[in-house]
């Protein structure tokens, strides 16, 4: 398997409006995050529990896979109600995501 470039393809959404809406969804999720943890190969975000947040993350990940296919995603719902989304990838991913998180 060849390595995918660490670059966002904003044209994957078909229009600048659709890309802007996707980016706005991502910003809303970042604003909801109550904790951010830096990992060796990416970041982990704690979000408030609730079906709506789980569905919003799943929807955002579906879009993100189109423009950033090099990323790996994981969602974890813990019994105590914590919800975590993990975004990881190859070398350079963490630094790219840091710019988005800031």
Q: What digits encode the pLDDT tens for the residues 65-100?
A: 999 999 999 999 888 888 999 999 998 888 888 777
Pairing of strands 83-88, 35-39: unpaired
The owner of tokens 């296919």 is 69
Give this prediction's pTM. 0.85
Q: Where are the domains of the chain?
A: 37-102
Q: What digits encode the pLDDT tens for the residues 5-53?
A: 778 888 999 999 999 999 999 999 989 999 999 999 999 999 998 889 8
HEC letters along 11-35: HHHCCHHHHHHHHHHHHHHHHHCCE
């Amino acid at each position: 398997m060849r390595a995918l470039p660490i670059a966002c393809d904003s044209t994957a959404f078909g229009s600048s409006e659709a890309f802007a809406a996707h980016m706005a969804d991502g910003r809303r999720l970042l604003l909801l995050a109550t904790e951010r943890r830096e990992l060796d190969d990416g970041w982990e975000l704690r979000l408030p529990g609730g079906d709506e947040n789980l569905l919003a993350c799943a929807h955002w990940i579906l879009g993100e896979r189109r423009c950033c296919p090099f990323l790996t995603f994981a969602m974890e719902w813990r019994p105590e109600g914590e919800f975590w989304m993990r975004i990881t990838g190859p070398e350079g991913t963490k630094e790219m995501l840091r710019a988005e998180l800031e």
